[in-house]
Amino acid sequence: MDVRVLYCSTTGSTKKIAGEIAKVLGVKAESVRGVKNFHPPELLVLGSGVYGGKTGKAMLSFISNLPPMDGKKVAVFDTSGEGAGKAAAEMKMLLKAKGVEIAGVFYCKGRSFFIFNRGHPSREEIFAARKFAADLCGKK
């Protein structure tokens, strides 16, 4: 399957989860900041940290410039201090407003300000992220 996993990560937790998801999907995760001349793949997975209650700016900009995604699958995930999925919810809302159907949503805690949430994403969260990816591509 034609797949891309793009992430917006400042301190590494989202990048880590993106890497786990990408591995299951058989691709390499890429920073959304380096994406140029984007052509929609069959499955697009977008992930961001939560910063001041919001999705990362680079991801917001990417989503606002997204070309038509007709017939494509898009899934979203985030990592955050609260683990409440605020960026995933925001990305989902923005994508839906563009007519994009959301294939899946995942969120978990990320290590926060280097001192909070030590040990996150945890082993269990990483397993859950892998399962999320496997479900997206129909792998058992």
Ligand X SMILES: Cc1cc2nc3c(=O)[nH]c(=O)nc-3n(C[C@H](O)[C@H](O)[C@H](O)COP(=O)(O)O)c2cc1C
Nearer to ligand X, 41 or 81 (CB): 81
Query: Residue 25 Cβ, how far from ligand X at the closest point, in Å?
Result: 19
Minimum Å gap between C-beta 124 and ligand X is: 16
Report the residue number, 40 or 108, with the smaller CB distance to ligand X.
108
3-state helix, strand, coil in the chain (%, to 5): 35, 25, 35
Q: What angle do CA 66, 11, 81 make, to 5 degrees?
A: 90
Query: Residue 12 or 104: which CB sits closer to ligand X?
Result: 12
* Burial of 51 from C-beta contacts in 10 A (0-12 / 13-18 / 19+): middle
- Tell me which residues touch ligand X (CB under 6 A): 9-15, 49-53, 79-82, 110-113
Beta carbon of residue 39, minimum distance to ligand X (angstroms, whole number): 25
State which residue has the least CB distance to ligand X.
110
